[in-house]
Amino acid sequence: MAQFAEQLLIVYALSRQLSWTHLRGLIYIDDPLKREFYLEMCRSEGWSTRTLQGRLDSMLFERTALSRKPDDLLATELAALREQGELSPNPAGGEAENEK
The answer to whether residue 29 sits within a structural domain is yes
How distant is the alpha carbon of residue 47 from its chain centre? 11
The answer to whether residue 93 sits within a structural domain is no
The answer to whether residue 25 sits within a structural domain is yes
pLDDT at 17: 77
Number of domain units in the chain = 1
What is the arithmetic mean of pLDDT over 70-89?
A: 71
The answer to whether residue 18 sits within a structural domain is yes
The answer to whether residue 95 sits within a structural domain is no
pLDDT confidence band for 54 (50 / 70 / 90): very high
The answer to whether residue 12 sits within a structural domain is yes
Could you give the CA distance from residue 57 to residue 86 in angstroms, rounded to a whole number? 23
Task: Report the predicted TM-score, pTM, of the whole model to 2 decimal places.
Answer: 0.59
Distances (CA, A) of 18 to 4, 10, 28, 71, 100: 19, 11, 16, 25, 14
Q: Say if residue 8's pLDDT is above 50.
A: yes
Domain that holds residue 70: 2-84
The answer to whether residue 64 sits within a structural domain is yes
Q: Say if residue 51's pLDDT is above 90.
A: yes
The answer to whether residue 21 sits within a structural domain is yes
Could you give the CA distance from residue 12 to residue 57 in angstroms, rounded to a whole number? 25
